[in-house]
Amino acid sequence: MLGWTSGPTKRSWLNGRSPSTSKRTCPAKTRVAPTSIYSWLWRKGASVTERDNALGPQGNRRGTVLAFLPDRFADWEVGHACSEINKPETGYAVRTMATRQGKVRSIGGLTVVPDLTAERDEVPEDLALAILVGGESWQEPDIVRAGAWLVDACLARAVPVAAICGACSFLAERGYLDDCDHTGNADYEFAQLAPHYRGHDRFRNQPVVDGGRFITANGAAGIELACALFGRLDIKPWGNVETWRTAFKRGTFA
């Protein structure tokens, strides 16, 4: 921005004469430093390895969040949560796990090559949270076996487990939800898909329930689940959690 100096030259300009000979001053340009090494790495398109190195002990590394992807997983259910959790400045890194090596395809046609294979690879030592993503295959034996293996590994390490939609029915059938407050798509759905379920009195008809060891959500509550996970992981999305939630619920940033 140009600033006109005071004195005769300014008065001449005000009297209608050309300001072309007037002395002008320009403020010095200010170089804005990146807000953090994390945002700088993000803008530079750093590789996963470079990000992990930056998020080491001296870079505020806080842990791994593991998303378990069943066949035909519901890609929309955890997209909001994972996209915020995986931002470099949070200190967390999202990794994926499936029942086998190779590609896993979502209901929406997205293909993912998981980082880890259940029952073959160990869970990360710095695991902070596991997310069981909903999908159309939670009744299949290999998915049930792998899911139970992961949940048991988390419980043994006192790591919380989040589940949404069909993954809640899996937890209900295996008895994991019998003694903690929880939710799911519907209590009557548990009666159909989880005949061994005994936690009816702990079911809460709410979008998301944090029951301690398990954080559960129905299939329409992906945004509410994300907010619950932000609280558990002490993550502050832009603005604050309520501003973030309102923006994505209303579809406007105003």
Phi, psi of 231 (to 5 degrees): -65, -45
Q: Output the pLDDT for position 239.
A: 79
Q: Does the residue 109 lie in any domain?
A: yes
Q: How confident is the model at residue 61 (pLDDT cuts 50, 70, 90)?
A: confident
Q: Does the residue 51 lie in any domain?
A: no
Q: Output the pLDDT for position 91.
A: 96
Rounded CA separation 192/40 (Å)? 50
Q: Does the residue 126 lie in any domain?
A: yes
Q: Output the pLDDT for position 52.
A: 53
pTM, full prediction:
0.77
Q: How confident is the model at residue 18 (pLDDT cuts 50, 70, 90)?
A: very low
Q: Output the pLDDT for position 182.
A: 98
Q: Does the residue 219 lie in any domain?
A: yes
Would the pLDDT of 244 be above 60? Answer: yes
Q: Which of 106-110, 129-133, 249-253 has the lowest mean pLDDT?
A: 249-253
- Cβ within 8 Å of residue 8, ≥6 positions away: none
Q: Give the other-Cβ count within 10 Å of 189's Cβ.
A: 18
Q: Output the pLDDT for position 74.
A: 98
Quickly list DSSP for the chain. --EEPSSHHHHHHHTT--GGGS-EE-PPP-PPPPS-HHHHHHHHT--HHHHHHHTSGGGT--EEEEEE--TTB-TTSSHHHHHHHTSGGGSEEEEEEESSSS-EEBTTS-EE--SEETTTSPPPTTEEEEEE--BS-TTSHHHHHHHHHHHHHHHHTT--EEEETHHHHHHHHTTTTTTS-B--S-HHHHHHH-TT---GGGB--SSEEE-SSEEEE-TT-HHHHHHHHHHHHT---SS-HHHHHHHHHHT---
- What is the tens place of the pLDDT at every residue in 87-106? 999 999 999 999 999 999 99
Q: Does the residue 172 lie in any domain?
A: no
Rounded CA separation 176/164 (Å)? 14
CATH number of the domain within which 123 lies: 3.40.50.880
Q: Does the residue 139 lie in any domain?
A: yes
Q: Output the pLDDT for position 6.
A: 39
Q: How confident is the model at residue 59 (pLDDT cuts 50, 70, 90)?
A: low
Rounded CA separation 152/213 (Å)? 11
Q: Does the residue 181 lie in any domain?
A: no
Would the pLDDT of 165 be above 90? Answer: yes
Would the pLDDT of 49 be above 90? Answer: no
What is the tally of structural domains in the chain? 1
Q: For 197-211, what is the mean pLDDT? A: 96
Would the pLDDT of 46 be above 70? Answer: no
Domain range for 234 is 60-165+204-250
Would the pLDDT of 219 be above 70? Answer: yes
Q: Which of 59-63, 118-122, 139-143, 174-178 has the lowest mean pLDDT?
A: 59-63
Q: Output the pLDDT for position 35.
A: 37
Q: Does the residue 52 lie in any domain?
A: no
Rounded CA separation 28/31 (Å)? 10
Question: What is the average pLDDT score of the chain?
Answer: 83
- 88 compared with 16, residue with greater pLDDT: 88
Q: For 100-115, what is the mean pLDDT? A: 96
